[in-house]
Chain A
Amino acid sequence: MNTKLERILPRVQKPARYVGGEYNEIVKDKTQTDVNVAFCFPDTYEIGMSNVGMRILYAVMNDLPWCACERVFAPWGDMEDELRKARLPLWCLESQDPVRDFDMIAFSIGYEMCYTNILNVLDLSGIPLHSSEREGLHNIVFAGGTCAYNPEPLADFIDFFSLGEGEEITVEILECYRRAKQAGWDKQTFLREVAKIDGVYVPSFYEHVYNEDGTLKQIIPLGGAPKTARKRIMQNLDTARYPDKMIVPSTEIVHDRMNLEVMRGCIRGCRFCQAGFVYRPVRPRSVQTLHDQAIGLLEDSGCHEITLSSLSTSDYRYLPELMASLEDYCQEKKINLSVPSLRADNFSRELMLKLQKVRKSGLTFAPEAGTQRLRDAINKNVTEEEILETCKIAFSGGWSNVKLYFMLGLPTETDEDVLGIADLVYKILKTWRENASNKKRGLRIHVATAFFVPKPFTPFQWEQQITPEEYTRRQRLLKDAMLSKSVEYNWHAPDLSQLEAVLARGDRRLCRVIETAWRRGAKLDGWLEYFDYKLWMQALRDCGIDPAFYTTRGYAEDEVLPWDSIDVGVTKRFFLRERERAYRSEITPDCRAGCAGCGANRLLEGGVCDA
């Protein structure tokens, strides 16, 4: 081992996350490969290694015999300090070679609050931050992940974006780079060629022109670039690459278990939820494929826990069959099978009561809003009756713990809706009194509220975010209405969500803000230990940017939106229609009940969703 590194490791927290060597890690001889990629999830190892997409693409890239893909994560602050002190560049885990020695640096970006980590990782690697400062083919920086759907706040730093599901496009990108390297192209030629791949978006090929009031006037594609770049999807999940051997971290990570991806996309269409729209269309995996994957992964990894993951797993059409097919194996091998994101309907209710894990953590519901009117407005199809019925059965079965998640500041929300939350909580309390089989244990109801963040590619993408002050007022209003000792109320501070809203709907002018914030010390902003609101506000002021422009102002329906160059499949027309329905508190049935015409089916060969 590098002796400098050996001396640092005893001084940092959880050193195991910096040395690699885990079971199933892939180490290649990089003198024998043509293209070497440093693959970075710009957050800590524990978060990054829990990401399924990262694991799929690690396999996809390393499947190519001529490519070596190694991992890198954002170091925690103590490690960063040590690196800077020792003047050590950031390295990749597999070989412990510096990131800057790799041909390409690929980022997987899942949420806005890790934008500064991207800059920090580049800087710690000794790689220039700006795309324009990186000349030649060495250290091409590209990015994918959910945040790539509004790539503009990162436009200055990332050479190009890869949109949508990466199994195929990543290979095409690497093949293009390989050709570029062999032919000795310059960077511009490479970017022009790579832009021809479906799903690649090169920000420097688009000019953004602003109106005097600061809104976008026009996005001009340059040099023949297409008006929009459309995301990629996998047509068939049964044949899509899913790793049969996954790295098993030697240190505990956030989701320390195997993951089965039962489907992609969500049939529900909750109007605030970006994931619900950008991952459309809905595509299930077959029971047979999942069954084989589950057993293969469990045997190979030695994990004793497996999760059936998706945006809404109880909507996986073949869930009963899948559970049945795994039941005996799990029983015999003492495997814990967990099903997250259950709903409160009949089927889930039975499942919930069956899965013993639930007993530990209690019942969890995410009604998101307190009244039926507002739940209809956001298209969250869960009713009070369903929740109370599930509670009733659970309470009589001995449960005594309920968690409820809500949002405050949703479009059209009134004080009545806020107080509706307290009302629902009170009804749950009453249900417990009437049905609890064991009252001695007492009831615990955990209520949590988050601050609504309008996101691109949702029906609420134009909405105003309420001010942090107003959020705080509503949150106090709710607190004062829930006086029972059985209720524990936790709320998110509004600061982070306000900034998240700025970054989520931001345009290119935010590149400078992100850089300024980073230069002032911002990093690991998703972590309470590090997030510094004042610093960000200062950075915005330094750049002459008013956060209100991106938050409380709201966007006009006819305004050019920064993310208009990106096509996620779902159309703007559909979002507008859904927005109007929201104002009328009208629900839209889920895809299984009937196609609502969102447009995502156009991405499918055949054009019909298998919802």
Chain B
Amino acid sequence: MPRMRFSKTGNAVWISHLDLMRALQRGFRRAGVLLKHSQGFTPHPVLSIALPLSVGVSSDYEIADFELDAPTDLAALPARLNAALPKGIEILECYEDGEKLKHLKWLEARLTLIYDAGVPAQAADQIRTLFARPSLEVEKHGKNGPVTVDILPMLHAYSVTQPDETTLALTATVSAQNPTLNPLLLLTAIEAELPACKPDFTRCHRIQIMNEAFHAFR
């Protein structure tokens, strides 16, 4: 099954997962490439996106698998699709024989913490100390209401830098599936445990996803 890698940036970050599916399906049609359709009473195009992004999160590394109705030159497909997609969605490559999705294990994300009045003193250190604790319980919304999880076993590596006076950049590699850690829970932890370090606004960006061996997932 062919696979595509794409980015979702700019105003396209506000497109929800379901709407993105629709936008991609339409992109294929506009490009004159028909997706294979499932059998059954209401046939739908075969296209699925791995690890749906939350609304508002940008990404340079999205993966979607699809099936085509007729053989098509995959190398030429990104250019054709890009001419047909809304601003902010860019197909980076299409290829055959991608890794099995079950090998998708890690996700690298960057949280940009913005402090309008300047980064609080020692904020970076405090965050480092926080993540150095033996365990860190965070409350998250589960299917049956709030549940508490220890996020640290799912946090593989991280770094905190301060690119300028009002910004902290927290880059983290977290478990993408089995179990899944939404990188935004790192922010939840900071806000709950270090109220003085609560940012005024945070941007979240997915840098890449990786396999068990920490290689870029193909």
CA distance A587 to B191 in the complex (A): 72
* CB <8 Å contact, B26 and A251: no
**Which single residue of chain A is at the shortest CB-CB distance from B37?**
A334
Residues of chain A lying within 8 A (CB to CB) of residue B22 = 252, 256
Contact with A along B173-201 (1 / 0, CB 8 A): 00000000000000000000000000011
A304 with B29: CB separation less than 8 A: yes
Across-interface contacts of B43 in A (CB, < 8 A): 334
Whole-angstrom distance between the alpha carbons of A303 and B29 in the complex?
A: 7
The 7 closest A-B pairs by CB, nearest first: A302-B26, A302-B29, A302-B30, A15-B14, A19-B11, A16-B14, A21-B11
Shortest CB-to-CB span from A422 to chain B, Å, is 34
- Interface set, chain A 238-279, CB cutoff 8 A to B: 248, 250-252, 256
Complex Cα distance, B56 from A7, in Å, reads 10
Complex: A256 Cα to B34 Cα, angstroms: 19
Stretch at the interface among B72-80, B82-90, B127-135, B149-157: B82-90
Question: Is the Cβ of A250 less than 8 Å from the Cβ of B56?
Answer: no
Within 11-42 of B, Cβ neighbours of A (below 8 Å) are at 11-12, 14-16, 18-19, 22-23, 25-32, 34, 37, 42
Taking A23-B30, A304-B29 as known contacts, 14 extra A-B pairs with beta carbons closer than 8 A to each other, sorted by chain A number, are A15-B56, A16-B16, A16-B19, A19-B11, A21-B12, A21-B88, A22-B86, A23-B84, A252-B19, A252-B22, A299-B32, A301-B26, A302-B25, A302-B29
Contact with A along B81-123 (1 / 0, CB 8 A): 0001111100000000000000000000000000000000000
**Hey, which chain A residues are within 8 Å of B29, CB to CB?**
298-299, 302-304, 333
Q: Which residues of B contact A22 (CB under 8 A)?
A: 86
Chain A 278-311 interface mask (CB, 8 Å, partner B; 1/0):
0000000000000000000011111110000000
Given contacts A16-B15, A248-B26, A301-B26, contact A23 B34 (CB under 8 A): no
A250 touches B19 (CB 8 A): yes
- A251:B19 contact, CB within 8 angstroms: yes
Check A20 for interface membership: any CB of B closer than 8 A. yes
> Are B30 and A20 closer than 8 Å at their CB atoms?
no
Q: Which residue of the partner chain, among A9, A23, A252, A301, contacts B85 with CB atoms under 8 Å?
A: A23
Shortest B3–chain A CB gap in Å is 21
B2 at the interface (CB under 8 A from A): no
Asked if B147 is at the interface of the complex by the 8 Å CB criterion, the answer is no
Give the total of A residues in contact with B, Cβ under 8 Å: 30
Q: In the assembled complex, how far is the CB of residue A448 from the closest CB belonging to chain B, in whole angstroms?
A: 25
The CB with the most chain B CB atoms within 10 A, among A300, A302, A360, is that of A302
Q: Considering only CB atoms, which chain B residue lies closest to A357 in the complex? A: B42
The answer to whether A10 and B12 touch (CB under 8 A), given A301-B26, A333-B34, is no
Q: Tell me the residues in window 118-175 of chain B with beta carbons closer than 8 Å to chain A beta carbons.
A: none
Chain B residues near A301 (CB-CB < 8 A)? 26, 30
Report the nearest A residue to B89, measured CB to CB.
A250
A-B contact pairs, 24 of them (CB 8 A): A1-B10, A1-B11, A3-B201, A7-B201, A15-B55, A16-B16, A21-B11, A21-B12, A23-B30, A23-B85, A248-B86, A251-B16, A251-B19, A252-B18, A252-B22, A256-B22, A298-B29, A299-B29, A299-B32, A302-B28, A302-B29, A304-B26, A333-B29, A334-B37
> Chain B residues near A299 (CB, 8 Å)?
29-30, 32
Question: Which residue on A lies nearest to B55, using beta carbons?
Answer: A15
How many angstroms from the CA of A441 to the CA of B43 in the assembled complex? Answer: 23
Which residues from B are CB-within-8-Å of A18? 14
A95 to chain B, nearest CB (A): 12
